[in-house]
Amino acid sequence: MHQISEENAIAAQKHGEISEKHGKSIEECGQSIKRFGKSLEEHGELIEEYGRATQQHALAAQKYALAAQKRDANSTEEFVKSADEHAKAVEYHSQATKAYLKVVEEHVEKTKKFLHKSE
């Protein structure tokens, strides 16, 4: 069995913790967006889902990183599972960012139309 360094296992755990915090922030962002009215409710729901998925995979990444640390030989198998879960968390974070940008773009377009009407 291959080994990983204790430092790498700890770093993987910390990445998971950071991703979990990002997921919570994403979920809160989705909740905030929903408060702006029915037209944004669907976007807010989607962003919330991405936030929860980010947290779920971040927690799994932490679990595997901790397991890698607890093994006598610092298992690469657990470390790889942690890295895979972290990659999934990052992908959901990216999807949430894209959904948020879509909300912003739609808001900018509506504002432009409103401003042109009032000229």
Task: Tell me the per-residue pLDDT of 70-108, one tens digit each, with 9 for 90 and over.
Answer: 866 667 888 899 999 999 999 999 999 999 999 999 888
Q: What is the pLDDT of residue 75?
A: 77
Using DSSP, state whether 37 is helix, strand or coil: coil
Question: How many Cβ atoms are within 10 Å of 81's Cβ, its own excluded?
Answer: 19
How far is 61 from 82, CA to CA, in rounded Å? 4
Q: What is the pLDDT of residue 2?
A: 63
How far is 82 from 67, CA to CA, in rounded Å? 9
How far is 50 from 57, CA to CA, in rounded Å? 11
Q: pTM of the prediction?
A: 0.84
